[in-house]
Structure 1
């Protein structure tokens, strides 16, 4: 699976990164992404990543720090599932944005949207 990092926050390095390739995202969306990454990195004590996979699928990923030997893999997975459920609309909007602006089919996606078709359901 091809993956591209959209944003990441590091608990131990206390840093936040958003990929400049996605600078065209609306500021409110970038802020919401930041408000997901930083608290989750702190809560899970890891580097927390949001990115795009194949076909614009949004993924969440955790990277354990060697400094935190008792990382809770199960707790992290549950927290990711909870966040994905709570942020379902954001994830849908991100995927749609990706399909429109970052794929060769972007113009076709826009056209189908204007025709009132549910683009994400057609995949």
Structure 2
């Protein structure tokens, strides 16, 4: 990204102001998606401040669950120090698919033809006054 892009756009990565604010902060780690995490300073309640700098588009659903817990102070230690290794049956986290071709579309959705299965007879309409 060029200098002008980093000044005026926030959706493609960190701006110059964000990079300036991260001076002197400690790099905490990096996740499997390439997002970089920082910690430094404290807020007005004395809680340590934590940041994520996304690799690519700024989309909060691209933060893996283990790092989400660290960012929101649900765990204090870094994920690689405090969490057990992933189990064989665990699938990797996926970003939000809403608005993409991979989004879930139930039967009856306009993108699937707009037809849904007929009612099964287990519904009885309510009539006022009964």
TM-score by length of 2: 0.27
Tell which has more relative contact order, 1 or 2 (C-alpha 8 A, sep 6+): 1
Q: Which structure is larger by alpha-carbon Rg, 1 or 2? A: 2
More strand by share: 1
